[in-house]
Amino acid sequence: MGGWRVWAGDPILRGVLAGVVMAAVATIVGVVALWPTGEGRRTAVANADEIGLVTDRLSATVEEVLDRRCSYSTDEDPQDCRTLTLIVHEGPEAGAVVTLPEINLLFDHSAPDLAVGDRVVLGYEDSTNSYFYADHDRRTSLVWLVGLFAVVVIALGRFRGVLALLAMAATLVVLVAFVAPSALDGNDPLLVAVVAAAAIAFISLYLTHGFTPTTTVALAGTLAALGLTLGLSSLFFELAEFTGLATEEALILPFIAENLDVSSLLLGGAVIGALGALDDVTVTQVATVAELRRHSPHLPTTELVASGIRVGRDHIASTVNTLLLAYAGASMPLILLFAVSDQPLDMVANSELIAVEIVRTLCGSIGLVAAVPITTTLAAVVLRPSIADDRTRTDGPTKSTPASPIPRAAEAAEVQSESPPRREPRWEDFGPVEDE
């Protein structure tokens, strides 16, 4: 690859590459040092089992739905209940027909609206040998959706779409196999999240876009912006004095994982959450600068940076709003509860549940904004003006000589005839090429 030979001969480019290599080494060392032993997860499972949080989940089919007066209903206080009869397909009593306890339709608003033949998930408590309704069985619909998503991505992205799906799978593996078990082992959740975010950045960018100089530039910009986001988030999480115990899940975690720092886990989640949008911004900016350079090979670096940043402004405006909508959309029930609480807006924002999302959004957005000039400048340094074109400009005639339009037209035709035939651009074209 000719682009890498250019990196070897340029001190600035070698510095960028050295920084990425050091980050890769640090990431590998971090993954090895923080790799989970599984002991923390086993202890957490045992603790959760002691307080009744661990139960078996079994597939079942609704056999009968019967709505009638509750067995404890009286003429003075009539109440309606729903009784579910199901066929269990798994567990120690596979094939058995079980009837669940009555569900009071007046007081229990979570009563499932089921019909005969529906697939559901039952919970089974081994100590009491009892079943209870857990959830709808929606696994089949999820599989169909995953298949549809894969088809759409591959149909549009072709081979690169396949690579994107592999990168997504690798991200899930990192989160499930490394982040969660390592944090349960007692390692600092923030450090685990930072190492995981760096690993995801390396894997997803190189796997999706190839091991090229321009991908390395995008990766360098991503890591730099991620470091800025981490610094800002750490500062304002500390100033805001978040406890991390504002949700029901966070209140349960200290009982099943005693060594877990919940506030640090909250900060780590903010770092990982900002990574996805950063990848999008940095890759787009590098591709934009590369395309500008391809069409204007002798454009000065300063003008190239200015042009790339102008293009990035629109992208940033939409991406920042995307972060806000993503966090707000995930908290819609909470937003409705605050709307009916009749509290002033500043008091609503002061609550930890809302304040955490505000800090996440704003710190992540600052990182996104900073990613544009950082990545654009790095890309412009890599894709420098053509030396041949600059030498022609310097050594050419300094005085303009009068000439008729016909020779000018002839010169233009000659230049056009010497230019290579146009073809569709490829991703490989976006990398720096060795100067002739």
Which H, E and C letters describe 126-149, residue by residue? CCCCEEEEEEECCHHHHHHHHHHH
Q: Which domains does the chain have, with CATH numbers?
A: 2-34+140-382 (no CATH), 55-136 (2.40.50)
Contact in structure between 360 and 327 (CB atoms under 8 Å): yes
pTM to 2 decimal places? 0.75
- For residue 411, pLDDT beyond 90: no
Q: Give the dihedral of Cα atoms 308, 314, 318, 320; nearest 10 deg.
A: 60
The string of pLDDT tens digits covering residues 29-41 is 999 999 998 888 8
Tokens of 128: 């009491």
DSSP codes, 34-46: H---SHHHHHHHH
- What is the pLDDT at residue 404? 36
For the record, the structure tokens of 408 come out as 């000018």
Average confidence (pLDDT) over 149-153: 94
Residue with the bigger pLDDT between 432 and 217: it is: 217
pLDDT at 389: 43
Q: pLDDT-based confidence at 391, cuts 50/70/90? A: very low
Nearest Cα residue to 239 out of 267, 219, 260, 261: 267
E-strand ranges in 46-173 read 56-69, 80-88, 97-99, 103-104, 119-125, 130-136
State the pLDDT confidence band at 379, using cuts at 50, 70 and 90.
confident
Reported as a single tens digit per residue, the pLDDT across 214-246 is: 788 889 999 999 899 889 888 988 888 887 777
Examine the pLDDT at 327 and tell me if it is beyond 70. Answer: no
3-state secondary structure of 341: coil
- Of residues 137 and 318, more confidence is placed in 137
Amino acid 9: pLDDT: 62
Between 246 and 21, where is the model more confident? 21
What average pLDDT does the segment 103-126 reach?
A: 84
pLDDT at 124 over 50: yes
Under 8 Å CB-to-CB from 126, ≥6 apart: which residues?
A: 55, 56
Angle between helices 301-330 and 262-295 (to 10 degrees): 140
User: Is residue 423's pLDDT more than 70?
Assistant: no
- Determine what percent of the chain is predicted with pLDDT higher than 70: 83
The closest of 63, 100, 102, 62 to 81, measured between CA atoms, is 102
Cα distance between residue 204 and residue 212, in whole Å = 13
Q: What is the mean pLDDT of the chain?
A: 79
